[in-house]
Amino acid sequence: MAGFDCPARTYPSSPGVDQRTLMGAVTVDPATLYCLGASTDAATVAAELRQLGVRVEPVTAGTALAHKMIALAAHDLTDAELAETAAVTTDSWVHLVSSGPNYPHIPALARNNLVTRSARAYAPSLSEYVITQHVLHCAKDTFDDVPKPFHRRAALVVGYGAFGHTIAATLAELGATVTVVRPRSRTAHAFGSTEATPLDRLPNRFAHLMVVALPGLPEVTDFIDDALFRCLRLDGHLINPARSSPVDVVALLHWLATGTGRLTTDVETDERAELLRPWADKGRVTLTPHIAWRPWDGDPLYHRDWAAIFTTGTHTPSTMREQSLCLDPRTIAMDYLIP
């Protein structure tokens, strides 16, 4: 396609660098979104994107694509299929339908393409899961009066991305006293306050509810350890609607063994699920089958983040008959870019 002259890109791997300086702009054909992986749900997304004048076309792994817009369900592809896709995709905008980018060959894909992720679309659905599961948890107990799962309860939200902010605000609206943990600074803040408290100064056993709002990234693996578990009451409730790796399994098992608290978790590995099985048999652990992200009507949701990124692009004439769209990471919100 003529007229694609986007700037050269660099992609250094040094940590702590603004991601917007790592990936360069790409210029793509804005007419078609190519969907790779069954979870992209091309038929549903096609109806949603029609108003933007974008048609949707499913493709198979290994299809050579250049200067294109691609929705990628990386979890639907094998390691070999991801490797092949990374090798034949160039100068394109690749949007991951998931919020987590830690799949094989995504770094290789990002060296030659602009790669974004669905950082915000799932926040309401994940928040609804947390509220529902905590109400169900409280309903398991016998009360002399009507149970109040949130009002005047203390909640600790670990993570403050789109989901962390959404669930913190929701819990606060329901009357909970919410404390937010920011992993990068290793500090805690009362929701709505900028005053920081070191994590080691948080009170012991103060939280009735702890919500894991962290992505499954290597830098936050085992972040929720004994030091954070000491903040959760021994009869409290831990809810993790996302990847399990941020929760130190040894610390988790110790907390379960020490008190009467319960865990609700949505995405566990087979190995961890086996470790938790005895507690599930005792009614102390609820393992849900990866349903937290999914709304009741089956909408894949990621198209909302995709559309928000699409609107940041600049349309320019490419040939007499065609348009092109330039997408610059400097104009895209940071949380949409892969970390």
- State the fold for domain 123-287: Rossmann fold (3.40.50)
Please name which of 32, 31, 33, 38 lies closest in space to residue 300, comparing C-alpha atoms: 38
Please name which of 241, 226, 262 lies closest in space to residue 170, comparing C-alpha atoms: 241
Cα separation values, 295 from 37, 127, 128, 131, 243, Å:
19, 11, 9, 14, 18
Cα separation values, 270 from 129, 250, 274, 276, Å:
22, 16, 6, 10
Q: What are phi and psi of 49, to 5 degrees?
A: -95, 0
User: Rounded to an integer, what distance in angstroms lies between the CA atom of residue 73 and that of residue 117?
Assistant: 10
For the whole prediction, is pTM greater than 0.85? yes
- The predicted pLDDT at position 23 comes to 87
Residue 44: in which H helix or E strand, if any? helix 42-49
DSSP letters along 102-120, please? -STTHHHHHHSSEEEE--S
Contact 11, 23 (CB under 8 A): yes
For 192-248, the pLDDT digits (tens) are 999 999 999 999 999 999 999 998 888 999 999 999 999 999 999 999 999 999 999
Site of tokens 């549903």:
44
Token code pair at residue 171 = 């819990």
Domain 19-121+301-336 matches domain 123-287 at the CATH topology level: yes
Instruction: Please state which CATH class domain 19-121+301-336 belongs to.
Output: alpha beta
Give helix then strand counts, H and E, for the chain.
Answer: 9, 18
For 159-168, the pLDDT digits (tens) are 999 999 999 9
Cα separation values, 252 from 201, 262, 278, Å:
21, 10, 13
Please, which residues have CB within 8 angstroms of residue 137's CB and are 6 or more apart in sequence? 149, 237, 262, 264, 286
Contact 187, 160 (CB under 8 A): no
Domain ranges for the chain: 19-121+301-336, 123-287
Contact 263, 279 (CB under 8 A): yes
For 99-150, the pLDDT digits (tens) are 888 899 999 999 999 999 999 999 999 999 999 999 999 888 755 666 689 9
- The predicted pLDDT at position 2 comes to 38
For 26-77, the pLDDT digits (tens) are 999 999 999 999 999 999 999 999 999 999 999 999 999 999 999 999 999 9
Q: Which DSSP state fits 10?
A: -
What ranges make up the beta strands (E) of 172-304? Answer: 177-182, 187-190, 197-198, 207-212, 232-243, 262-267, 285-287
